[in-house]
Amino acid sequence: MNLETKTSIKRLSVTILGILLLGSGVGLATAAQIGSDCMASFCEVLSERLGFITIGQLTTLIELGMLIYAFVMERKTVGIGSFLAMLLVEFPIDMVYESVPRTGNYVIRILYVLIGIVLISFGAELIVHAELGMGSYEAFMYSFVYRNGWKFTYVKYACDSIFLLLTILLKGHVGIGTVLTYLLVPKCMELASVLIHKISFE
């Protein structure tokens, strides 16, 4: 097996690991039922309103739209990893969401969210670092970063704010978990980026 093949396998493995971590984080934070990340909270309430589609399936549809936009506007953010993330992320989301024990203990529920934040942040950054294509949400946001020179953190806060507003308008659940993910995920992603970029594929 030559070096190029080994590198490709490593990148693919890191991408899949990132997808599993990202999806598990979303599912875990949502299962806490004290408010998840803004996009997941929107998918949760819309799934409840529609009644015929799961949170994971709805996430996939939204990410498909984001991916199409990113491909048209900034093609370099999209690759095989983007499509893998879009197609596979619903499985860890739904699996973790359905399997995590529900609890009335508020401390444990906050712990679910905090662990979810870490998993989401490191999962997203692993996908970015593998350079096989960003996750749909990241590709969507980076299309604005690359085209307009805006700072990623500000773009993420803006996009999350839109999902948060839609969730409120649909009378979805916005709680301490939503606030924590809104405030902490961008900073946690910055830390994850520093640590993950030490990984070499050579």
Q: How confident is the model at residue 26 (pLDDT cuts 50, 70, 90)?
A: confident
Share of the chain above pLDDT 90, in %: 33
The answer to whether residue 201 sits within a structural domain is: no
The answer to whether residue 202 sits within a structural domain is: no
pLDDT of residue 18: 93
The answer to whether residue 97 sits within a structural domain is: yes
Residue 114 above 90 pLDDT? yes
Q: Give the per-residue SS3 of the chain.
A: CCHHHHHHHHHHHHHHHHHHHHHHHHHHHHHCCCCCCHHHHHHHHHHHHHCCCCHHHHHHHHHHHHHHHHHHHCHHHCCHHHHHHHHHCHHHHHHHHHHCCCCCCHHHHHHHHHHHHHHHHHHHHHHHHHCCCCCHHHHHHHHHHHHHCCCHHHHHHHHHHHHHHHHHHCCCCCCHHHHHHHHHHHHHHHHHHHHHCCCCCC
**157-200 confidence digits (pLDDT tens):** 899 999 999 999 998 878 898 899 889 988 898 888 888 877 77
The answer to whether residue 8 sits within a structural domain is: yes
The answer to whether residue 142 sits within a structural domain is: yes
Domain, as residue range, for 150: 3-196
- pLDDT winner (highest mean) among 31-35, 109-113, 135-139: 109-113
- How many domains does the chain divide into? 1
Single pTM value for the model:
0.81
Average pLDDT, the chain: 87
Residue 201 above 70 pLDDT? no
Contact between 155 and 144 under an 8 Å Cβ cutoff? The reply is: yes
**60-107 confidence digits (pLDDT tens):** 888 889 989 999 998 888 988 888 887 888 889 889 999 999 988 999
Least confident interval from 15-19, 35-39, 182-186, 191-195 = 35-39
pLDDT of residue 202: 62
Distance CA 15, CA 57 (A): 20
The answer to whether residue 92 sits within a structural domain is: yes
The answer to whether residue 119 sits within a structural domain is: yes
The answer to whether residue 76 sits within a structural domain is: yes
pLDDT of residue 103: 87
